[in-house]
Amino acid sequence: MTASVDHYFLLNDTRARLVVKFCERYGEYAHRMLADVGLAPKLHYCSKVVGGVFMVVMEKIDGRDPYSEFRYHDCPGLYWRTSGVH
C-alpha cells in the first residue's frame, strides 16, 4: 500500500480566499456536516476530476488546522454535533 499525498493551493483574490485541494479520498458529507455547525470552512466544490482524484474547493480561514488543534485530545462536543457521520 502506498501513502497518499494531498496537494493544496491557496488562491488569494479580492473577492475570496480559497484553498484548492487535490486528494485520492475526501469525506464531503462529513466536511459539510462540520461546516454546518461551524467546525469546518465552507465547502464550495467537491468532485472527482480527470485522473480520478478529488478536487475540493473551500474557503480559507485563519487559525490552526484540526490535526494540530485536536492531535492529543478530542474535539469538544464533536460526537453529538456530528452523530450522523460514521
pLDDT at 2: 47
Query: What is residue 59's three-state secondary structure?
Result: strand
- Quickly tell me which residue has 490552526 as its cell: 64
pLDDT in tens, 61-85: 877 666 676 666 666 555 545 555 5
Measured in degrees and rounded to the nearest 5, phi and psi for residue 54 equal: -85, 140
Domain segments of the chain as ranges = 7-81
The parts of the chain modelled with pLDDT lower than 70 are 1-14, 64-67, 69-86
Q: Rounded to 10 degrees, what is the CA torsion of 61, 74, 79, 25?
A: 60
pTM over the 0.85 mark: no
